[in-house]
């Protein structure tokens, strides 16, 4: 992934379609755009709120697209994205960049880029991470797929909505990055449920455990702490990460084994712990760690 920068002319209007839970605070950040903001949503309340704050309320997607050089889209489904794109294609001027923030199916962005190109438009898929709180604060992570020219055309507006705006590669790569990020998110939630069942069976205060997890993750960085390498290839003996991850594997193998013993004793099913015990070494890039993880002795937490 590479990070680049670009600024859309200040007199270009920005449009925002889809003023839901995350779209509305994203659009509110764009009120600071010097060229002005135009908004559209089928629900009248968020439109009225943005209009009162200084945005122009469009009568349709086509009305919005006809006067905006950047058109941001934050609707719910693939079909809704296609519908919005269809209206934009018939109304937007040449050079307009369409920015789809919705999390859509991985095959759709290249098709939308192709459609945009046939109408002399630019396209990026730019899903976001950070939720409504990040949208309100303007601190979203925005993962962008598209050409350098399309990214440059969208970059200025994106910078008002996010503090981590990353060009991930060609169209579709923004969506791929978002799907990978959320895979980690929701698999972790599933593992959290497993950990909570184990803790509950042991008589642990689950609210207190939650405080402990949030506290320690804020110090260690959680899963992101191991995400500094630019490849998933196995580590070599001279790689600086090798000794670090061997230590992680030693601790992890020991602690997972103890957790599985406790789960067996309490009658709690922990399939994710079992899977992690077998595949942790592989996940860390330690070739030859084998099923069951490390045999390193003497590790301490």
Which residues carry out catalysis?
A: 178
Angle formed at CA 128 by CA 70 and CA 56, multiple of 5 degrees: 35
Q: Tokens 């604060």, residue?
A: 137
CA-to-CA distance for 130 and 114, rounded, in angstroms?
Answer: 29
CA-to-CA distance for 227 and 231, rounded, in angstroms?
Answer: 10
Question: Taking a C-beta distance cutoff of 8 angstroms, is the pair 109, 158 a contact?
Answer: no
- List, as one string, the DSSP characters of the chain: -B-------TT--EEEE--STTHHHHHHHGGG-TT-EEEE-SSHHHHHHHHHHTPEEPSSHHHHHTT-SEEEE--SSHHHHHHHHHHHHTTPPTT-EEEE-S---TTHHHHHHHHHHHTT-EEEE--EESHHHHHHHT-EEEEEES-HHHHHHHHHHHHHHEEEEEEEESTTHHHHHHHHHHHHHHHHHHHHHHHHHHHHHTT--HHHHHHHHHHHHHHH-GGGGGTT-S--SPPPTT-HHHHHHHHHHHHHHHHHHHHHHHHHHHT---HHHHHHHHHHHHHTT-TT--TT---------
Distance of CA 171 to the CA centre of its chain: 15
């Amino acid at each position: 992934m590479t990070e680049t920068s670009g600024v859309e002319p200040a007199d270009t209007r920005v449009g925002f379609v889809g003023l839901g839970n995350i779209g509305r605070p994203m659009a509110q950040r764009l009120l600071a755009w010097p060229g002005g903001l135009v908004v559209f949503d089928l629900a009248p309340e968020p439109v009225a709120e943005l209009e009162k704050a200084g945005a122009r309320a469009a009568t349709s997607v086509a009305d919005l697209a006809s006067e905006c050089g950047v058109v941001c889209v934050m609707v719910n489904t693939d079909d809704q994205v296609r519908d919005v794109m269809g209206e934009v294609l018939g109304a937007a001027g040449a050079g307009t960049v369409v920015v789809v923030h919705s999390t859509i199916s991985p095959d759709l962005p290249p098709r939308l880029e192709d459609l945009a190109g046939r109408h002399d438009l630019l396209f990026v898929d730019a899903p976001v991470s950070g939720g409504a709180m990040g949208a309100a604060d303007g601190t979203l992570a925005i993962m962008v797929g598209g050409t350098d020219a399309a990214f440059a055309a969208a970059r200025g507006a994106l910078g008002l909505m996010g503090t981590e705006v990353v060009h991930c590669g060609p169209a579709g790569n923004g969506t791929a990055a978002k799907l990978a990020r959320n895979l980690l998110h929701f698999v972790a939630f599933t593992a959290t449920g497993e950990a909570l069942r184990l803790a509950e069976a042991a008589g642990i205060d689950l609210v207190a455990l939650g405080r402990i997890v949030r506290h320690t993750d804020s110090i260690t960085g959680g899963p992101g702490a191991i995400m500094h390498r630019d490849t998933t290839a196995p580590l070599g003996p001279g790689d600086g990460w090798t000794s670090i991850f061997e230590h992680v594997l030693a601790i992890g193998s020991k602690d997972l084994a103890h957790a599985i013993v406790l789960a067996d004793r309490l009658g709690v099913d922990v399939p994710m712990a079992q899977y992690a015990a077998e595949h942790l070494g592989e996940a860390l890039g330690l070739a030859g760690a084998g099923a069951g993880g490390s045999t390193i002795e003497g590790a301490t937490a």
